[in-house]
Amino acid sequence: MSSEEPRVGVFVCHCGLNIAGVVDVKKVVEEAKRLPHVVHAEDYIYMCSAPGQELIKKAILEKKLNAVVVAACTPTMHYETFARAIEAVGLNRYRLEMAVIREFSSWVHADKKKATEKAIKLVKAAVVKVADNSPLEPVKSRTVRKVLVIGGGIAGITVALDIANAGIPVILVEKTPTIGGKMAMLSETFPTLDCAQCILTPKMAEVARHPLIKIYTNSEVVDVSGFVGNFKVKILQRARYVKIGDCRLCGFCERVCPVKVPSEFNRGLSDRKAIYIPFPQAIPPAYVIDKANCRHWVDGCDKCLRVCPTKAIDFNDEDKLVEEEVGVIIVATGYDLYPAERLKEYGYGLYRDVIDSLQFERILSAGGPTKGLILRPSDRKPVKRVVFIQCVGSRDINHLEYCSKICCMYTAKHALIFKERVPGGEAYVFYIDIRAAGKGYEEFIKRVQEEFQVNYIRGRVNRVYRDPKTGDMVVVGFDTLTGQLLTVKADLVVLATGLVPQLPYELASKLKIPFDKYGFVQEAHPKLRPVETVTSGVFVCGVAHGPKDIAETVAQASAAAAKAMELLYSEYIVKEPLVAVVDRDLCSGCRVCVGICPYGALELVEGKAKVNELLCEGCGACVVACPSRAIELRNYSTKQLLEMVKAVVK
Amino acid sequence: MNLDSWEPKIVAFLCKWCSGAAAELAGVSRLLYSPNVIPIIVPCSGRVDPDLIVEAFMNGADGVIVAGCHTPSDCHYIAGNFKAFKRVYMLKKLLSDFGIEPERLKLEWVSAVESQKLKTLFDEFTFTIRKLGPLRVKIRGGSV
Count of beta carbons in the 10 Å neighbourhood of residue A337? 21
Among A465, A469, A413, CA closest to A436? A413
Q: What is the predicted pLDDT for the residue at A19?
A: 97
pLDDT in tens, B4-19: 789 999 999 999 988 9
Which positions in chain A touch B45 (Cβ < 8 Å)? none
Stretches where chain A sits below pLDDT 70 are: 1-3
Least confident of A16-20, A244-248, B88-92, B98-102: B98-102
Residues with Cβ within 8 Å of residue A605, at least 6 apart in sequence: none
Q: H or E element: which one contains A255?
A: helix A252-256
Q: Is A108–B26 a contact, with Cβ atoms under 8 angstroms apart?
A: yes
State phi, psi for A189 to the nearest 5 degrees.
-115, 145
Is the per-residue pLDDT at B140 higher than 70?
no
Tabulate helix, strand, coil % of chain B (nearest 5): 45, 20, 40
What confidence score (pLDDT) does residue A310 get? Answer: 95
pTM as predicted: 0.76
Instruction: Tell how far CA A193 is from the center of its chain.
Output: 28
The pLDDT of residue A383: 97
Residues of A in contact with B23 (CB under 8 A): 103-104
Q: Which residues of A are less than 8 Å from B12 in CB distance?
A: none
Residue A3 is predicted with a pLDDT of 62
Residue-wise DSSP of A313-331: B-TT---EEEEEEESEEEE
Q: Give the tens place of pLDDT for each residue, A586-600.
A: 999 999 999 999 989
Helix axes A638-649, A112-131, angle to 10 degrees: 160
Sorted by where each begins, the domain ranges of chain A are: 8-136, 147-238+320-334+502-569, 252-307, 336-500, 576-634
Q: What is the pLDDT of residue A638?
A: 95
Phi-psi region of A451 (alpha: psi -120 to 50; beta: other; left: phi over 0): alpha
A8-136 carries CATH number 3.40.50 = yes
Cβ <8 Å between A621 and B77: yes
Residue B139 predicted with pLDDT over 80 = no
Specify the pLDDT at position A524.
83
- The verdict on domain A336-500 having CATH code 3.20.20.105 is no
User: Are A147-238+320-334+502-569 and A336-500 in the same CATH fold?
Assistant: yes
Domain range annotation of chain B:
38-134
B40 vs A516: CB contact, 8 Å cut-off?
Answer: no
Instruction: Tell me the residue length of chain A.
Output: 650
Contact A148, A326 (CB under 8 A): yes
Asked whether residue B138 carries a pLDDT value surpassing 70, the answer given is no
CB contact under 8 A, A108 and B27: yes
Residues of B within 8 A of A111 (CB-CB) are 35
CATH code of A576-634, in short, is 3.30.70.20
Nearest to A204 by CA among A150, A149, A152, A266: A152
**B23 touching chain A per CB within 8 A:** yes
Burial code of A345-371, b = ≥16 C-beta within 10 A, e = fewer? ebbbeebebbbbbbbbbbbbbebbbbe
| More confident site: B98 or A291 | A291
Q: What angle do CA A618, A622, A625 make, to 5 degrees?
A: 150
Please tell me the CATH superfamily of domain A147-238+320-334+502-569, with its number. FAD/NAD(P)-binding domain (3.50.50.60)
Amino acid A527: pLDDT: 86
pLDDT at A11: 98
What pLDDT does residue B14 have?
A: 97
Looking at the predicted structure, is the pLDDT value of residue B141 above 50?
no
Per-residue pLDDT at A351: 96
Q: How confident is the model at residue B2 (pLDDT cuts 50, 70, 90)?
A: low
Round to whole Å and give the CA distance between A495 and A497. 5
Strand stretches in chain B, DSSP E = 10-15, 37-42, 63-68, 105-109, 138-139, 142-143
- Partner-chain contact B38 A115, CB within 8 Å: no
User: Does the beta carbon of B90 lie under 8 angstroms from any beta carbon of chain A?
Assistant: no
Q: In angstroms, rounded to a whole number, what is the distance separating the alpha carbons of residues B30 and A105?
A: 10
What is the structure's pLDDT at A308? 96
The alpha carbon of residue A648 is apart from the nearest alpha carbon of chain B, in Å, by 7
What is the overall mean pLDDT for chain B? Answer: 90
Q: Quote the CA–CA distance of A6 and A630 in Å, as a whole number.
A: 25
pLDDT at residue number A139: 85
Chain A nearest-CA distance from B115, in A, is: 11
